[in-house]
Amino acid sequence: MEKIQNFINGELTPPRNGKYIDNYNPSTGEVYSLVPDSEEQDALDAIAAAKAAFPAWKKTTKEERATILRKLANLIRDNFEEFVIAESRDNGKPVKVSEHVDIPRSSKNLEYYADEILKFEGEKFSDEGMGENYLEYYPIGPVVSISPWNLPLYLFTWKIAPALAAGNTVVAKPSEVTPMTAYMFTKLCNEAGLPPGVLNVIHGLGHKVGDTLTTHKDIKAVSFTGSTATGKVIAKNAGAHMKKYSLEMGGKNPNIIFADCDFDEALSVTMRSSFANQGQICLCGSRIFIERSIYEKFKEAMLVKTKKLRQGDPLEASTQQGAVVSEPHMNKIISFFDIAKKEGGNILIGGKRADRPGYFIEPTIIENLDSSCRTNQEEIFGPVVTITPFDKEDEVVEWANSTEYGLSGSVWTKDLTKAKRVASAIDSGVVWVNTWLMRDLRTPFGGMKESGRGREGGTYALKFYSDVKNICINNN
């Protein structure tokens, strides 16, 4: 059975304690590889390597760093099929999703920041009596990036690309549940010309290595994507040790469908925003609000489409619904079916584990729930949505904003004035109008309230991974 290795100072390295944890294939429920059960000393080794590599890496030119990032992007492309299959097997997602989303976007993340760093210049300000001001950005030092399991290589590269481009060295910690593609990526780093120690990857359980990574004096910033509960621990650790931190966390996103929408388009995109990746995308619209006059029609149409979703082996090209990522996660999702019933919810379709091996859950639609109930307040992060009719714009905006989260929202209407009014009123980092998950990488990405601190994307991430200096010349 394959033993995944850490990557420290340019070398694939077993955990010092020699211990491994099981890595499951979610579509069979069987163990198919082993993940290092890393501990403090492994994290310290990685931090020491990142520290030693920093002085030389920060002196490299932007062009040199961009060239290496482009090589990494191309190496992923050269091994495209292997990455696609590995991601699907490790996570349970349909191979179509890893083929069209995860793996292409991983290359794009690296290329995007290869381009972006070349344009990243300090701003200049010049006003009479204020002097000639210009800004210089500097790498901040070794940084830590911690990523989740839902989009494994996609979010791993989304974090390391701007960090490396800006001249920092990195210790990355992928999710222990989906370590495979980050491991495969580390095997390409030397070939791409990345100097030893510039990127180090520690696998294993967050609570065993997390404290060391987020509190160590040599780490200058921590970038995290994952649950709000873990984000709070990281904020406490990193904040207490005076590190910069950026947190991308959970969501409970509203999808508001007005009667004057393009019905077919709203329906087809709502199917994706409900069930893509088995609902395990932080941006999924898990609370659907439908204007009452089209409620029954929309509901019936959704039920017809949901019934037709093809659930099956993630590695088969025709599969639309794969497995959820792990047994504990499956059980958490299933526990919400009882909670919803107790809260008065009416499960219209799904509401149970699918009758096959592995961690499959039937896509589920629930109605008749109050906005304040647990099912509508807590992130379930599975193929489960609630639908609720609404009558008034004010009422639906209030419900949309009624959770602790504020990551994303969608609004469907042909009336752009109304769309803009509602979009402005929703407390979230992004609102899509008549679409979902359309992402220009130059835009800020992140959440309000308990969904996030700080923003990634574009120059936002480059600024996060940099220190800025203002130089002011008296030109009077």
**According to the binding rule CB under 6 A, does residue 454 interact with ligand NAD?**
no
Nearer to ligand NAD, 320 or 451 (CB): 451
DSSP secondary-structure letter at 143? E
**According to the binding rule CB under 6 A, does residue 461 interact with ligand NAD?**
no
Answer for the pair 250, 282: CB distance below 8 angstroms, yes or no: yes
CA distance to 230, 254, 327, 372, per residue, from 383 (Å)? 22, 15, 15, 20
**According to the binding rule CB under 6 A, does residue 227 interact with ligand NAD?**
yes
**According to the binding rule CB under 6 A, does residue 358 interact with ligand NAD?**
no
Task: Calculate the dihedral angle through the C-alpha atoms of 159, 161, 165, 170, rounding to the nearest 10 degrees.
Answer: 60
**Nearest-angstrom CA–CA distance, 291 and 271:** 17
CB of 362 to ligand NAD, least distance (A): 21
**According to the binding rule CB under 6 A, does residue 408 interact with ligand NAD?**
no
Q: Of the residues 87, 111, 116, 248, which is catalytic?
A: 248
Q: Which of 37, 87, 90, 176 binds ligand NAD (CB under 6 A)?
A: 176
Nearer to ligand NAD, 163 or 301 (CB): 163
**According to the binding rule CB under 6 A, does residue 249 interact with ligand NAD?**
yes
Options 106-114, 142-150, 289-297, 416-424: segment touching ligand NAD (CB under 6 A) = 142-150
Q: Of the residues 189, 261, 282, 284, which is catalytic?
A: 282
Which residue type is seen at 14?
P
CB of 214 to ligand NAD, least distance (A): 6
Options 62-70, 135-143, 191-199, 219-227: segment touching ligand NAD (CB under 6 A) = 219-227
Answer for the pair 314, 27: CB distance below 8 angstroms, yes or no: yes
**According to the binding rule CB under 6 A, does residue 286 interact with ligand NAD?**
no
Nearer to ligand NAD, 36 or 148 (CB): 148
**According to the binding rule CB under 6 A, does residue 405 interact with ligand NAD?**
no
**According to the binding rule CB under 6 A, does residue 291 interact with ligand NAD?**
no
In the region spanning residues 366 to 385, those forming contacts with ligand NAD, defined by CB under 6 A, are 379, 381
| # binding residues, ligand NAD (CB under 6 A) | 29
Active site residue 284: no
The greatest distance separating any two alpha carbons of the chain, rounded to the nearest whole angstrom, comes to 79
Options 60-68, 179-187, 221-229, 301-309: segment touching ligand NAD (CB under 6 A) = 221-229
In the region spanning residues 188 to 217, those forming contacts with ligand NAD, defined by CB under 6 A, are 206-207, 210, 214
DSSP per-residue codes, 159-218: HHHHHHHTT--EEEE--TTS-HHHHHHHHHHHHHTPPTTSEEE--S-HHHHHHHHHH-TT
Active site residue 282: yes
Nearer to ligand NAD, 106 or 413 (CB): 106
CA distance to 4, 27, 97, 246, per residue, from 32 (Å)? 11, 11, 21, 33
**Nearest-angstrom CA–CA distance, 249 and 446:** 8
Q: Which of 53, 282, 323, 330 binds ligand NAD (CB under 6 A)?
A: 282
CB of 162 to ligand NAD, least distance (A): 14
Which residues does 373 contact at the CB level (< 8 Å), separation at least 6? 340, 343, 344, 345
**Nearest-angstrom CA–CA distance, 33 and 89:** 11
DSSP per-residue codes, 257-303: E-TTS-HHHHHHHHHHHHHGGGG-STT---EEEEEHHHHHHHHHHHH
Edge-first strand listing for the sheet containing 466-473: 124-127, 131-139, 466-473
**According to the binding rule CB under 6 A, does residue 273 interact with ligand NAD?**
no
**Nearest-angstrom CA–CA distance, 377 and 254:** 11
**According to the binding rule CB under 6 A, does residue 146 interact with ligand NAD?**
yes
Active site residues: 248, 282
Residues that bind ligand NAD (CB under 6 A): 146-150, 155, 173, 175-176, 206-207, 210, 214, 225-227, 230, 233-234, 248-251, 282, 379, 381, 407, 447, 452
